[in-house]
Structure 1
């Protein structure tokens, strides 16, 4: 059973914190929700299986400690002592934590995907041999996700626990990590029943990163836990991972509930757009039962998959001009078992073979700047918007993911739309209510902790019949992007606008 009012935190890509905050409230009935850059802290009585259903987060942790930043001095020994004091505490503290952790994953120490170990070593060996290729692929996904989490936290030193080369982690070999209690004569406090393997993952940034490396911190904490608790270090297949994050904002200690990140969707065979971004976009589209939803540049179909999994009572259509992309999307749809939910067709987004005003929502990642040349094909953006507007019903919603270059182009389009709009007034603003770049809780505040949010301010005018309804800055890892939301308010004719590539 789950611990009563368990305290957790979940990591998120930069810009997705408000989406995650809303989701934990809605899906888990969470309370005491606090968002900071890259993390959302919350309390919930939900079972572990419910926490696994989170779609906008990266990894979810049982929160052990959340304190103020560690005092930094030139004395490394003193700083390490402060860190060990934060983590180790009294022996009874860890006994209580292990009890809670085991309760979260069932009686008798059974673990819900925290470790891939099972009660039967022979069965585990057989499964590993049969799925070695799959496990290697998942390992690469874990590394990629951890890399994304690093970017979400800024320029930090980050740990990829499964990787033993060039990682800032506790990377000494098992042979060098013999139990210190054996040589020192100390008696570990844990009895045999609580003896199991562990590893320490540490990330640090800010002032403390200038004094100590993640390796030094992880090794010091690991040896202290071995000495005090009698646990065995295992860097590859540990029963328990202890996560430490130290920066200038807080000191956090937690235990990951699941080995694989939440963003690794088992129903997506070939990943395209990151699943967390795709889900966030779909959540803005206001999809209801019986709605018709279109992705006119669907690629591998990630947005459609996320939407159909979360809102299965709607009907989904995907179009793309590329045969290879459609083939990949078809494989993903079959893998997810959504053949009866998603239809695919080959078509150009500039000339969709679909009736006017036939869809309730259009969601798409406009792929310019990746496979296309910005300086040439960015000029097609107005044509794309006009065709999307044509197939959208009045009252419908458009959600688009735009690169930084397209973001600049979109601002140019809205400027010209404002100047040409019959609703524009003398001071250059629109009579329509200024669209607010809302966070997902419905508050007109900026995204969490300095994440850039683009306000259209005086440029909130119609592009044809579309009214801007929010812009959200998000991270795609190496680059930043913007999620634009529009609402169609009438069936007015489209305005013919051009777009020049930003300089």
Structure 2
């Protein structure tokens, strides 16, 4: 088991592609973690926090106790020689594994509590589990190793090495030994929780992945009593993540789909947030809200086969964006999850995606001397859309599994050439 010089335990979390930056920030901020580093899909850290605190990480997929982090391992094609290399490079020092098992058992006891049992009986059970440890192997590999060995073969080879070197017995019960092998990394760990951190007990119906929904909510820079709007809320996932971050906020969800809104109602009820989240059935192109009335607008813009939408989103997006800009106050934040195609479209719509403030202001002056309809009119047909007040702050590319998407974050600034609706 890996510890830093101060004696704190070394952990790691897995993260979806593109989510590493959010997780790096979260472990530093919430856990006061040290020695924080990352590789694609994994963030490593040391901390003295208890397991309950680590369970509050919202951007992580799974949490592990780190046994070994080593340079890449090249396996011989001969199975016998491969087993020998694994024994030396992956299993390593048996004392490390014994220490890890002891720490794992202590953390499990901390999580489960004594349950009313005496301390003597509790110690006896811990000692019994340490004397007769069981395990199963879950191995993922990529790169050169994956071309020579599949995961099933590696599970068997690693399992035999652990059994031979450590005397542990293979079993389908926990703890599971997780091994990740690539051309760049060798990571070995034991999961600390049965359920992924990404699983939310308060969601009855799933929609957008909860980790990405949380990341979008975190980009809203929520303050005390912030008013947050999701104009296409679906089953309400983003709002339910945002509620966790802003206890005294006001949250409004809108959707034109009655079925989706009904699921959102059930999710809100299951989470016990009926008094915090207001749900309204309405069109996102005609929102029943005054201008400049919300502090943050956050939205997973529908796209693709998984995210069906009755309208052609490439046509509808300018109109939707115009309403979002209208209801957002000056200094407010707009966070959008967009397909790669819609991201390219919005880059054309919002000048500040490509122009700095000075050149953008000059563009406003130039527009003022052109025809009135070409100065930022949001009328339909051939008239031009111009979103002069929205300033791009960041873009984050994230994986949705079968496809990638981009999270765009904007702030709304005051401009004298804002178009009037």
Give TM-score, length-normalised by structure 1. Answer: 0.71
Q: 2:260 corresponds to which residue?
A: 325
Which residue among 333, 339, 362 is the counterpart of 1:397?
333
The alpha carbon displacement at 1:494 in A equals 4.5
Q: 1:405 to 1:95 in 2, by over 3 A?
A: same
Q: Distance in 2 between matches of 1:73 and 1:373?
A: 55
1:416 CA displacement: 10
Q: 1:79 to 1:294 in 2, by over 3 A?
A: same
Q: 1:412 aligns with which of 336, 348, 358?
A: 348
CA distance in 2, matches of 1:481, 1:496: 31
Alpha-carbon deviations, 1:165-190, whole Å to 9, x = none? xxxxxxxxxxxxxxxxxxxxxxxxx9
CA distance in 1, matches of 2:346, 2:390: 13
Change in CA separation of 1:493 and 1:344 when aligned onto 2, cut-off 3 Å:
farther
- CA offsets, 1:17-57, max 9 Å, x none? 00000000001101111121111111111101111111001
Q: Of residues 310, 314, 323 in structure 2, which corresponds to 1:378?
A: 314
Task: Tell me, yes or no, if structure 1 residue 489 matches structure 2 residue 413.
Answer: yes
Give SS of 1:102's match: helix
Q: Alpha carbons of 1:23 and 1:380: their partners in 2 closer, same or farther (altered >3 Å)?
A: same
Q: Structure 2 vs 1, CA of residues 295 and 244 (structure 1 numbering), >3 Å: closer, same or farther?
A: same
Closer, same or farther: CA 191–488 of 1 in aligned 2, 3 Å: closer
1:10 corresponds in structure 2 to 13
Partner of 2:229: 294
Which of 213, 217, 223 is the equivalent residue of 1:282?
Answer: 217
CA spacing shift, 1:356–1:477, aligned 2, 3 Å: same
Deviation, 1:79, is: 2.8
Q: Deviations over 1:97-127 (max 9, x none)?
A: 21111122227xx758xxxxx99xxxxxxxx
Q: Secondary structure at the match of 1:471?
A: strand
Maintained 8 Å contact 1:296/1:319: yes
Q: What whole-Å deviation, never above 9, does each CA across 1:109-156 have from its counterpart, x for those lacking one? A: x758xxxxx99xxxxxxxxxxxxxxxxxxxxxxxxxxxxxxxxxxxxx
1:72 CA drift (Å): 3.9
Q: 1:470 to 1:286 in 2, by over 3 A?
A: same
User: Is 1:102–1:111's contact at 8 Å kept on the other side of the alignment?
Assistant: no
Counterpart of 2:298 in structure 1 is: 363
Q: Does 1:39 align with 2:42?
A: yes
Closer, same or farther in 2 for the Cα pair 1:191/1:346, shift >3 Å?
A: closer
In the superposition, the TM-score normalised over structure 2's length comes to: 0.84
SS at match of 2:362: coil
Tell me how far 1:11 sits from its aligned partner. 0.7
Residue of structure 2 equivalent to 1:59: 62
1:59 CA displacement:
0.6
- Residue 394 (structure 1) shift: 0.6
Matched residue SS, 2:198: coil
Conservation of the 8 A alpha-carbon contact between 1:470 and 1:484? yes
| 2:397 is aligned with 1:473 | yes
The alpha-carbon distance between structure 1 residues 391 and 475, as it changes in their structure 2 partners (threshold 3 A), is same
What residue in structure 2 maps to residue 231 of structure 1? 168
1:424–1:35 Cα change, 3 Å: farther
The aligned counterpart of 1:209 is 146
Superposed CA offset, 1:429-474 (max 9, x none): xxxxxxxxxxxxxxxxxxxxxxxxxxxxxxxxx7221111111111
Structure 2, gaps ≥5 residues long: 118-126, 366-385
1:252-291 equivalences under 5 Å are 252-291=187-226
Aligned length: 384
Aligned partners of 1:285 and 1:398 also within 8 Å: yes
Superposed displacement of residue 91, structure 1:
3.6
Structure 1: gaps of 5 or more residues: 113-117, 120-189, 427-461, 498-503
Quick one: distance in 1 between partners of 2:237 and 2:181? 34
Q: Secondary structure at the match of 1:217?
A: helix
**Cα separation, 2, equivalents of 1:261 and 1:70:** 28
1:308 to 234, 243, 253: 243
Q: CA deviation at 1:223?
A: 2.5
2:183 aligned counterpart, secondary structure: coil
Q: Aligned residue for 2:362?
A: 423
Measured in 1, the distance between the counterparts of 2:210 and 2:163 equals: 38
Return closer, same or farther for 1:25/1:193 CA change in 2, 3 Å cut-off.
closer
Q: Describe the shift of the 1:348–1:382 C-alpha distance in structure 2 as closer, same or farther (beyond 3 A).
A: same
